[in-house]
Homo-oligomer: A and B are copies of this chain.
Amino acid sequence: MTADPANPEHPERAAVAALADDFLTRLREWIAIPSIGADPAHHGDVAGSAHWLADALRADGWPEVAVWDEGPALPAVHACWPSADPAAPTVLVYAHHDVQPVDPLEQWEHPPFEGVVVGEELFGRGASDDKGQVAMHLLAVQAHLRATGATAPAVTLKLFVEGEEESGSPHLGELLDRHADDLACDLVVFTDTPMYSRDAPTVNTGQRGVLGAEVFFTGGTSDVHSGRAGGGVPNPATAIARLVAALHDADGRVLLPGFYADVVEPTPLERADYAALPFDEAEWLSANAGGARAGTGEAGWSTLERVWVRPTAEVNGIQGGYTGPGLKTIVPASASVKLSFRLVPDQQPAKVMAALREFVAANTPEGVEAEVVVRGDGVPAYAADVTHPATLAVHEAMSASFDQPVRYSRTGGSGPAGVLHDRLGVPVVYFGATLPDDRIHAPNERVVLPVLLRGAEAAARLWRLLPERLS
């Protein structure tokens, strides 16, 4: 290992510093390609983005680079850089290069596809989610080689950067199956999550799963005048409200049968870490909860725990009867509710869906007909094992790079980590250096460059540490 003489304890930091200008130029160039996967008019840009990435990897010396553009999936990029040591572990970095739409455009203070730098921040769609983090990995590999003085990484590195994450990764399973050999690995490093905050860097260790369904209640075939029959016939809107009310007990626990049977609680170490994180409820509500006035939820758990490690049942939408202006004295013929369940390990979407059907059947009153429509297969939750050597190595690399205590955190949203785990049959760890207030999916997305560079340093360090830690 070649230590930078100016920075003997931080060879990766010195290497990152030396490469930082090129990194920024390159990321701004990539951000300029509007790879909006949700908009068919931009599918050419998604392909352009994939080819830009492939070219960048080739320029960096990655020996195997391919754009997978076989359809129906939008173009994904795959690359591999074998370690010189055939016994070294193989690590697959997962990320994505498609970006969210930019509406409402008028709310952007800088053009979303120009990569404007203001102070420490780089603004643009994808700056944080997820081009910034992919570029961070490219930089990290260069820095790793420079810091170690080697011509190949210490681990066999594979990169898989898909183009449909923002669309829910509809063809991910198909890609994983078709390219099973190319993607075979010992560990997945999942790079599409943030840290807790700049002042409290964390290793993310999990995402919740999600399952959506719609319940339709029907009484008669048409609305009924409430003067004629009100009080004498079932009211599907009242019935759907009662169904929703029955979803939780007074402690905020979800009452689907067996809902908590498979729930794995976080370890005491994780709970202690969550409790140690700086948390200001009012600030959190304003940043995360659209101005909600109070944190509430399942009894016995903190707000962070409620959104990170506890499963939920949420009403996303409810509708029934007359909803125009003024009043119409009817008993509605039908009503419906859109529900989503955030899941945690080891809840299985299919099992929760079966429990929902059972719950709906038990809560359908006489004279009402129920229909449950499932929205997709759901996304399973995933949590990294905090005692696994790979997780510990990430923690070690982050701790050495951020010069601050690093804790564990999770995120409440969902992603394909569980799918990667299930299909590839290997552990998944999360690695990310973006921030929750980067305004991803919103106007004025940005990334904080010094934080991202520390992330690159940590990744470079991780590749150096992993062969020994996993041995």
Chain A residues close to B by CB (< 8 Å)? 208, 210, 212, 214, 219-235, 237-238, 240-248, 285, 288-298, 303-304, 306-307, 310-312, 314-323, 326-333, 335, 337-338, 340, 342, 365-369, 375-376, 411-414, 441
Contact = CB atoms under 8 A, between A and B. Distances in A.
Given A221-B291, A315-B235, A226 B321 contact: no
B333 A297 contact: no
Q: How many copies does the complex hold?
A: 2
B323 A317 contact: yes
27 contacts: A214-B327, A219-B290, A219-B293, A224-B292, A226-B342, A227-B412, A228-B412, A230-B312, A230-B314, A230-B340, A231-B311, A232-B297, A233-B295, A234-B296, A237-B244, A237-B337, A238-B315, A241-B244, A245-B245, A293-B366, A314-B329, A315-B320, A317-B320, A317-B328, A321-B338, A327-B375, A329-B340
Contacts of A303: 232
Contact of A228 (B311, B315, B413): B413
A366 B292 CA distance: 10
Contacts of A330: 316-317
B292 A342 contact: no
Given A235-B315, A247-B238, A292 B229 contact: yes
A300 to B, nearest CB: 13
Contacts of A237: 244, 315-318, 337
Contacts of A243: 241
A289 B224 contact: yes
Contacts of A248: 238
A338 B367 contact: no
Contacts of A244: 237-238, 241-242, 245
Contacts of A293: 219-220, 234, 366-369
Given A226-B342, A244-B241, A413-B228, A234 B316 contact: no
Contacts of A231: 297-298, 306-307, 310-312, 314, 342, 412
Given A320-B317, A327-B375, A340-B329, A222 B291 contact: yes
A326 B376 CA distance: 10
Given A288-B228, A320-B315, A367-B293, A338 B331 contact: no
Contact of A328 (B230, B241, B292, B316): B316
Contacts of A292: 219-220, 224, 229, 233-234, 331, 367
Contacts of A307: 228-232
A323 to B, nearest CB: 4
Contacts of A208: 227
B321 A316 contact: yes
Given A212-B329, A220-B285, 11 more contacts: A226-B412, A231-B306, A232-B307, A238-B314, A238-B315, A241-B243, A241-B318, A290-B331, A290-B333, A292-B331, A328-B338
